[in-house]
């Protein structure tokens, strides 16, 4: 198996185009999760600026956990993208 994408496209065009399709889907999912992470971080920042007295509000904690889950999905998407492209 060759590592040059042009040679791979010539030798097996269906496999190369299928890999390209999967890479584009993974990139689209990565952009969507980055957008979601950015919106969530902005909301968390605004809520933190308002402040609270004693305890962290429940929904702030839930959104923080959600943010960590989005970052985990981003790591998985990057790993899958590297696996598809290599």
The rounded distance, in Å, linking the Cα atoms of 28 and 50 is: 34
Identify the pLDDT of residue 34.
Answer: 92
For residue 28, give every residue at least 6 positions away whose Cβ sits within 8 Å of its Cβ, in sequence order, or none.
Answer: none
**Tens of pLDDT, residues 16-57:** 888 889 999 999 999 999 998 999 888 888 877 777 777 888
**Tens of pLDDT, residues 46-65:** 877 777 777 888 888 899 99
Burial class (CB in 10 A: 0-12, 13-18, 19+), 43: middle
> Where exactly are the structural domains of the chain?
5-12+29-85
Phi then psi for residue 4, to 5 deg, are -75, 125
**pTM recorded for the entire structure:** 0.73
């Amino acid at each position: 198996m060759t590592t040059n994408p042009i040679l791979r496209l010539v030798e097996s065009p269906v496999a190369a185009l299928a890999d390209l399709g999967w890479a584009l889907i993974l990139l689209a999912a990565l952009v969507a999760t980055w957008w979601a992470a950015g919106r969530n971080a902005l909301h968390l920042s605004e809520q933190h600026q308002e402040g609270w007295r004693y305890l962290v509000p429940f929904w702030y904690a839930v959104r923080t956990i959600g943010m960590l889950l989005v970052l985990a999905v981003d790591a998985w998407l990057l790993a899958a993208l590297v696996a598809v492209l290599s």
